[in-house]
A and B are shown apart, each in its own frame.
Chain A
């Protein structure tokens, strides 16, 4: 099974900050990497698929990059609505494992 290691597990930041979350796969997964945003009590929402492709609802301050084993999610200028938990997921092979999540909190 592919193990996904996400870091940091939590992050405190201020509105306007640039933040980066990383996700590392235990083996090469090409660009088969998704990023999700989850707010309390809600289902996860797909932000980015294929490592760098933004879903239509996602603001351009979000970006994703990476290939192989190392991936990043970057928010260029944090907005109040971005404070949430973020998960990476590999879609390379079953089981389609998730990272443990990064909780992004207001400083």
Chain B
């Protein structure tokens, strides 16, 4: 059974970098059949897809966040990570990691709340 688990600080100061890790169990992050992504949901709002990383290492980031986002994979640890720089209060959200592909079930982590505040 595939499981994804987000981890990282729950509180980040303005202007600093938000760093989260998603640990994957029950499946290999190196599989060419899937891609891996980060999603966020600000309090009381809808879902936003932040970015995607493919098995080849190529990435796609939402244009509104592109200048601040980096997604990377660590195959030795079966993990992938999100870094979001220069955060503001607008980046306060529940952050989810997910595995997907076209036409297959998506698997999500349970999410982690990150609050940006001094």
In the bound complex, do residue A91 and residue B46 qualify as a contact, i.e. CB atoms below 8 Å apart?
Answer: no
In the bound complex, do residue A96 and residue B103 qualify as a contact, i.e. CB atoms below 8 Å apart?
Answer: no
**Which of B94, B102, B110 is close to A32, meaning CB atoms less than 8 Å apart?**
B102
- Inter-chain contacts of B50 with A (CB < 8 A): 95
**Which of B103, B108, B111 is close to A91, meaning CB atoms less than 8 Å apart?**
B103
Given contact pairs A34-B106, A43-B111, A94-B52, A101 touches B46 in the complex (Cβ within 8 A): yes
**Interface size bucket, A side?**
20 to 34
In the bound complex, do residue B105 and residue A49 qualify as a contact, i.e. CB atoms below 8 Å apart?
Answer: yes
B residues 41-62 touching A (CB-CB < 8 Å): 46-52, 60-62
The complex places the Cα of A98 from the Cα of B60 at a distance, in Å, of 16
- Inter-chain contacts of B35 with A (CB < 8 A): 94
Main secondary structure on A side of the interface with B: loop
A-B contact count (CB 8 A): 66
Q: Is A44's beta carbon under 8 Å from chain B?
A: yes
- Inter-chain contacts of B52 with A (CB < 8 A): 94-96
In the bound complex, do residue B105 and residue A46 qualify as a contact, i.e. CB atoms below 8 Å apart?
Answer: yes
Q: Is B96's beta carbon under 8 Å from chain A?
A: yes
Taking the closest CB of chain B, its distance from the CB of A33, in whole angstroms, is 9
B residues 38-97 touching A (CB-CB < 8 Å): 46-52, 60-63, 94, 96
Q: Is A97's beta carbon under 8 Å from chain B?
A: yes
A-contact bits for B13-40, CB 8 A (1 contact / 0 none): 0000000000000000000000101000
